């Protein structure tokens, strides 16, 4: 029996648009006062924490005012020393320029399968980024006018497992910089799992790299369809080595492609090394796939290390065919960037059967701890937990303990008896839903939610998937996701936005032989071919189409990682673009994309399901300004100073799975002349 999974957009929450046509308007009229009223009525969770993040030191001088890497710098700090825009004048921000890429010209059929998640980099005199369809574009940083464009002509008739998206590019500039063609180059991964090199100055293909500027990443097994295997995140560069991971469709089969990380000579494209987190047994009897690196890696050039956030061994929801902890899956892995050899690894989830892979770039931060500076790696997670590790050894800086977790999985499952939990740092979002406090606008809605929750097994974080149904909370989109975190080095403050949404997961006995031909990461049903169970999952919505979990459905927090405390936490996002007539209730919304922090004391972030770029006070998290976007801002912004003027730039093109407004805009904000 050949099988094709049914595609759903699990985060679109389309019923919101129906129910909000009537009920939110009535709520606004009857209960002026917003979120506080919801809480007073007992239908909201008070996740707010009000505090003040105090400065502990001056910002290190190495922090610049440019943006040379996808994460701001090679360690993913997402911090800029630019301070022309500050807390006193941010309300004066206005649109400086808007560039439309034209990405959908001739590609309208792929519109709802695309997400514009890119973050530009500033290289020499150009702002360079990739579009949803792997075009590379260079703009004038001051005007937004196009300087050059490269289009690899990727096919759009397939169905990539993780949508058409490209989060960023990497820059390679050998020293001394050559004046010849491709003396400096930009690297990008594509939906076809190619690594492409183009000239930084002209956008022409670097023909000496691989074949005509392209290197094909070959999977370890034959693919079922081309979109099963792609590259979505920016590669990284160390010296003359370019390194990339891959994105592989989950839950398709137990006999799955390996999650190999590949390193190539940045000039020639010759293979330098490759690393597989879970190697096949020598006898070939046990073949465990995936544990790939689909998110962004980080580089410590001084130590010569590259840090990987690895994902789950395949398939995500049943591990009986892959006994043990599956090291180094679900781990932060530090490799020698020259050789690919493991220096250290720290596993954050043992024997994952929840799709709790590591979705975010490991943050290479420098904190002040008891008056001494210390280099750390900070990993934010889908579970809402934050791990702080020593950069040289991988040992926890904030202590971690192994705690017993729920057992009694399905027949054949081999669960880990314990999981790691940071001792001092509480989760940013909760992991339990009390059926007696189920969310609902009406009593009928609330009671229906409560009944549904009682039908699902929920014993807290790491409750195993079951045939009867299990509550996954936080859901597989997080907690945190690919937007990662930002770091204010003057305050030891990690700024992170997270989701607060629940999901139901069911396992189904595989009584028929199914050969999967296609699957999406947002599939409602997945075959897990070769396992004794198939899997279905979906967000838990009330009869009126709203999440069972109480608002806020999205939060943003400031966490002091030296003290191990959440300093402030606030609802993030409004119903402005979900409700009729622009009704904006600050209930928090699911969000994808991340924050950046500046020396001006500001956080800039899009991400939420309303079409805004926001500026928040880094000390308190309070909103100071918001600028309207022409489409969804499900991307991480960036900032830079050009010709003595500070700009804040974000890609506004929406997120297909979330159902936000789709577009092809890059928008820059600045202070008026």
pLDDT value, residue 244: 98
pLDDT value, residue 280: 64
Q: How many Å apart are CA 263 and CA 184, to the nearest integer? A: 18
Q: How many Å apart are CA 127 and CA 116, to the nearest integer? A: 16
Q: How many Å apart are CA 454 and CA 442, to the nearest integer? A: 19
Q: Name the DSSP letter for residue 104.
A: T
The model scores a pTM over 0.85: yes
Q: How many Å apart are CA 132 and CA 164, to the nearest integer? A: 5
Kindly report the backbone phi and psi dihedral angles of residue 388, in degrees, each rounded to the nearest multiple of 5, phi listed first. -120, 115
Q: What is the per-residue DSSP string for 231-297? A: --SPPEEETTEEEE--EE-TTSBSS--B--EEEEETTT--EEEEE-SSPPPTTSS----B----S--
The answer to whether the CB of 421 falls within 8 A of the CB of 392 is no
pLDDT value, residue 283: 54
582 CB contacts (<8 Å, ≥6 apart)?
576
529 CB contacts (<8 Å, ≥6 apart)?
252, 253, 254, 255, 510, 514, 515, 516
Catalytic residue chosen out of the listed positions 355, 431, 488, 577? 355
Closest to 425 measured CA to CA, from 371, 492, 336, 470:
492
The answer to whether the CB of 519 falls within 8 A of the CB of 249 is yes
Instruction: List 99's β-bridge partners, or say none.
Output: 666
76 CB contacts (<8 Å, ≥6 apart)?
69, 296, 298, 361, 362, 363, 364, 484
Q: What is the mean pLDDT of each run of 10 residues along the chain (673 residues)?
A: 36 44 42 44 67 86 89 98 98 98 94 95 97 98 98 90 93 74 94 97 96 94 87 98 96 91 97 90 66 98 98 95 93 98 98 98 94 95 98 97 97 96 95 84 83 92 96 95 97 97 92 56 76 92 81 96 96 86 84 97 97 97 97 98 98 90 97 94
The answer to whether the CB of 606 falls within 8 A of the CB of 595 is no
Q: Residue 593 CA to chain centroid, in angstroms?
A: 6
The answer to whether the CB of 406 falls within 8 A of the CB of 434 is no
Full set of structural domains in the chain with CATH: 2-670 (2.140.10.10)
For this structure, is 355 an active site residue? yes
pLDDT value, residue 282: 55
pLDDT value, residue 174: 85
């Amino acid at each position: 029996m050949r099988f094709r999974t049914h595609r759903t957009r699990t985060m679109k929450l389309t019923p919101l648009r129906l129910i909000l046509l009537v009920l939110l308007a009535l709520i606004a009229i009857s209960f002026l006062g917003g979120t506080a009223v919801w809480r007073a009525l007992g239908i909201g969770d008070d996740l707010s924490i009000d505090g003040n993040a105090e400065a502990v030191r001056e910002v290190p001088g190495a922090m610049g005012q440019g943006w040379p890497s996808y994460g701001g710098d090679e360690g993913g700090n997402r911090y800029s020393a630019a301070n022309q825009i500050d807390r006193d004048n941010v309300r004066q921000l206005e649109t400086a320029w808007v560039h439309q890429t034209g990405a959908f010209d001739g590609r309208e059929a792929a519109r709802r399968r695309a997400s514009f998640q890119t973050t530009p980099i500033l290289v020499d005199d150009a702002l360079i980024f990739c579009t949803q369809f792997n075009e590379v574009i260079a703009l004038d940083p001051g005007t937004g006018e196009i300087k050059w464009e490269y289009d690899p002509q990727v096919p759009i008739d397939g169905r990539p497992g993780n949508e058409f998206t490209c989060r960023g590019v990497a820059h390679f500039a050998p020293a001394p910089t050559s004046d010849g063609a491709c003396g400096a180059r930009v690297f990008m991964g594509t939906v076809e799992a190619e690594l492409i090199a183009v000239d930084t100055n002209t956008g022409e293909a670097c023909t000496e790299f691989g074949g005509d500027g392209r290197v094909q990443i070959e999977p370890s097994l034959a693919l079922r369809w081309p979109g099963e295997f792609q590259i979505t995140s920016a590669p990284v560069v160390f010296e003359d080595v370019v390194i990339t991971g891959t994105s592989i469709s989950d839950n398709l089969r137990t006999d799955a492609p390996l999650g190999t990380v590949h390193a190539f000579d940045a000039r020639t494209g010759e293979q330098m090394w490759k690393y597989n987190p879970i190697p096949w047994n020598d006898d070939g009897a046990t073949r465990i796939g995936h544990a790939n690196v689909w998110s962004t890696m980080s580089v410590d050039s001084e130590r010569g290390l590259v840090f990987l956030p690895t994902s789950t061994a395949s398939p995500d929801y049943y591990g009986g065919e892959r006994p043990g902890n599956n090291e180094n899956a679900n781990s932060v892995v530090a490799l020698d960037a020259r050789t690919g050899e493991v220096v250290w690894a720290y596993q954050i989830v043992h024997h994952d059967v929840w799709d709790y892979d590591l979705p975010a770039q490991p943050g290479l931060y420098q904190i002040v701890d008891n008056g001494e500076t210390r280099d750390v790696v900070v990993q934010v997670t889908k579970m809402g937990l934050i791990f702080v590790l020593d950069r040289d050894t991988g040992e926890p800086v904030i202590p971690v303990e192994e705690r017993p977790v729920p057992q009694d999985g399905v027949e054949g499952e081999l669960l880990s008896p314990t999981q790691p939990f940071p001792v001092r740092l509480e989760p940013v979002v909760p992991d339990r839903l009390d059926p007696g406090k189920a969310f609902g606008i009406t009593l009928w809605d609330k009671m229906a939610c409560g009944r549904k929750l009682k039908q699902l097994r929920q014993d807290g974080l790491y409750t195993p998937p079951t045939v009867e149904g299990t509550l996954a909370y936080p859901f597989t989109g997080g907690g945190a996701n690919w937007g990662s975190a930002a770091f204010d080095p003057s305050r030891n403050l990690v700024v992170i936005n997270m989701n607060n949404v629940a999901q139901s997961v069911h396992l189904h006995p595989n009584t028929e032989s199914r050969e999967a031909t296609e699957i999406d990461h947002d599939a409602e049903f997945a075959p897990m071919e070769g396992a004794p169970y198939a899997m279905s999952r979906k967000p838990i919505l009330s009869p009126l189409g709203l999440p069972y979990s109480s608002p806020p459905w999205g939060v943003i927090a400031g966490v002091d990682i030296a003290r191990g405390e959440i300093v402030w936490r606030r609802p993030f996002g409004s119903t402005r673009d979900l409700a009729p007539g622009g009704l904006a209730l600050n209930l928090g919304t699911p969000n994808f994309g991340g924050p950046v922090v500046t020396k001006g004391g500001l956080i800039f972030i899009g991400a939420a399901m309303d079409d805004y770029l926001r500026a928040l006070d880094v000390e308190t998290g309070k909103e100071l300004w918001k600028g309207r976007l022409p489409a969804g801002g499900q991307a991480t912004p960036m900032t830079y100073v050009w010709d003595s003027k500070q700009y804040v730039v974000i890609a506004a093109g929406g997120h297909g799975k979330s159902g936000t407004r789709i577009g092809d805009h890059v928008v820059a904000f600045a202070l008026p002349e």
